[in-house]
Chain A
């Protein structure tokens, strides 16, 4: 169908432009947090991330040193110091002493403040205030200045979120939840799918219909009874109600209908001859399953594994209900949600944390896209 429309040069050009616009809309938001996570946090707070490569300028104010700092030299009283903090990496372009005219004097110029008092501010922030009579008072003079920062990229934000904001810890927690919650349902579903496809037993058709019905049962229906059940079990046995085992089983339960559905339709399609010849050779169903069905089902197992991995890694609801909010159990999505509340304005922390949380699923996605798409096409009725 590729050649049927858009034959004219203009038409072809239009298609390229249209797709380009779509791609831009779909990638720019993510690009924004990636770029922001690598920017200096002071720059991030005042300028848009799309200006990351441009020198940014900002207006600031500060105070000069007080009378206690003055030194006498050649009959003049001097207060000296630096307006910028060490390592600030900024350049002062202009300064002023009135808020109405914050950039009255260029950097390096000597400003006459009246009564013989002068002030000179250099572009590196160094200043000299000089007066023929001694300074008095315990408050320094307020001064306004404009400074510019060259573009600056840093990995400081990653250091901060991974090691002092607790994202590193949550990363490990997420892995602890995700890996078993991906493997356990695969094992359980694969056995069940084989039985449902190739073994004869009463009630099989009913079981299959039930599983298809359960595909679309909303998670919400399960939460309250399970929360009560977990609390009850915890109380009865005197164990914590919120455990990793609890969430693995919950994710297994929620993932099973889709897993069995997907795996069964694949396993049922395997050639009958292979299994029958194995059975004639005296292999039991267990042996057939382990030695023949599992290896042959690799593509569909991979598809489901990717689905379940992404679903569990990205889940917030189940983790909030079945895991605690302490640092030993808080997963990445929960941590990110908590940071949105406590660090709502600290975009350097939010963007960096968000990028850490989406890094793993994006890597899985791009490297295993083929299996992911195959699974999507085979079972596009996922309830979860």
Chain B
């Protein structure tokens, strides 16, 4: 055990140290090559100007290099791979895409993904909003918020174990150890095998993501609600508006932009949902989603990179509209200095 910890500490120091050494050495070198101190005035100004040309690239260089290798190159390469065969050697045109839209498994995954997209962002935003409004009214609201928020820190795999235990099935008449079946049995129903009942199992998997993400929606929306000026609400109250009217006609329109942000963020997350499906069902019982299917094809039968890449491109295409909206939004807010 000690040896493992020592080697881990060693590896960590090498990794982090290497990074620190780069920035320090690169900047030091620049100061040495083009000194701005201890030289004549004209030379110093000249060197300062040269430093000014080079230093920004020392600062952004590593970031650009890593972004290029880990995001930009792969996006291009995936597009190219998606029109090649399983090995990535032979050009096959749109064959991978036409295969995908004729494949029962793929269509099932698309269908499930649409189902997830229809339910999860809506459910998270709706529940998040309700909890945000309710917890604002009570003295222990912050404690309640913390507890609803906490699952956001839990991994999808951990959450899957937690919920698999909730859904655990024991035969009829036996004592149930899963709380959901225990409740069903208590009220006289028959215990169900929740996660292997096709179609409905999708919803039981969605519950896990909703459970995790509602806290996110709640925190963002709660802060937006606090941003609504008190005068607006007081004015409405004086005009005789009821609680519901204030909620629907005053509060919701005011935080509409934030709702959109929450909705799109969760939408992107849903498009990529992988861990939950892998650990709960691995796509069995008609519960597959695109991200899990893609992972599957990366390794299935030695790996079919063409088909995997085609599925990745389809996920990407779904994200592009949100991406464009994001850049527009950022430009509207002004690009900084």
Contacts and interface: CB of A to CB of B under 8 A. Distances in A.
A253 B278 contact: no
Interface string A7-29: 00000100110110011011111
B83 interface: no
Nearest to B244: A5
A364 B161 contact: no
B120 interface: no
B336 A265 contact: yes
B230 A365 contact: no
Contacts of A244: 11, 15
Interface string B181-196: 0100000000000000
A256 B69 CA distance: 12
B265 A380 contact: yes
Contacts of A45: 177
Contacts of A50: 179, 182
Interface string A367-384: 001000100110011110
A247 to B, nearest CB: 10
A310 interface: yes
Closest 5 CB pairs of A and B: A253-B70, A5-B243, A314-B155, A225-B77, A192-B63
A106 interface: no
A19 B135 contact: yes
B162 A284 contact: no
A198 B214 CA distance: 37
18 contacts: A5-B243, A33-B161, A173-B8, A191-B62, A211-B67, A213-B323, A217-B323, A218-B271, A221-B71, A317-B275, A317-B295, A340-B160, A340-B164, A347-B165, A365-B153, A373-B219, A380-B220, A380-B261
A92 B20 CA distance: 67
Contact of B152 (A1, A15, A47, A365): A365
Contact of A254 (B51, B70, B146): B70
Contact of A212 (B37, B247, B294, B327): B327
B122 interface: no
A104 to B, nearest CB: 21
A196 interface: yes
B206 interface: no
A30 B151 contact: yes
Nearest to B327: A212
Which secondary structure dominates where chain B touches chain A?
A: helix
Contacts of B295: 223, 317, 320
A362 interface: yes
Interface string B173-213: 00111110010000000000000000000000000000100
Contacts of A316: 155-157, 274-275, 278-279
Interface in A241-287: 244-245, 248-250, 252-254, 256-257, 260, 264-265, 268, 282, 284-286
A218 B315 contact: yes
Contacts of A362: 150, 153-154
Given A5-B247, A314-B157, 8 more contacts: A12-B137, A176-B12, A194-B59, A207-B60, A214-B67, A217-B323, A286-B31, A373-B219
Contact of A23 (B19, B70, B144, B264): B144
B158 A357 contact: yes
B107 interface: no
A27 B145 CA distance: 11
B272 A219 contact: yes
Contacts of A4: 233, 237, 243, 246
Contacts of A212: 326-327, 330
Among the interface residues A47, A205, A224, A381, which one has the most CB atoms of the partner chain B within 10 A? A224
A252 to B, nearest CB: 6
A50 to B, nearest CB: 7
Contacts of A64: none
Nearest to A377: B223
Interface stretch (B97-105, B108-116, B305-313): B305-313
Contacts of B46: none
B210 to A, nearest CB: 10
B207 to A, nearest CB: 10
Given A26-B147, A191-B23, A219-B272, A227 B298 contact: yes
B5 interface: yes
A223 B309 CA distance: 9
B219 A224 contact: no
B285 to A, nearest CB: 15
Given A175-B8, A225-B78, A361-B153, A196 B60 contact: yes
A327 to B, nearest CB: 10
Nearest to B70: A253
B12 A256 contact: no
A224 B134 contact: no
Contacts of A264: 336
A28 B335 contact: no
Contacts of A222: 70-71, 74-75, 78
A70 interface: no
Contact of A224 (B268, B309, B330): B309
A2 B136 contact: yes
A191 B161 contact: no
A33 B154 contact: no
B148 interface: yes
A224 B81 contact: yes
B55 to A, nearest CB: 5
Contact of B319 (A200, A217, A313, A320): A217
Nearest to A314: B155
Interface string B47-60: 00001110111111
Contact of B66 (A16, A198, A249, A337): A249
Contacts of B178: 48
Interface in B228-274: 228, 230, 233, 237, 242-243, 246-247, 251, 261-262, 264-265, 268, 271-272, 274
Contact of B55 (A256, A285, A382): A285
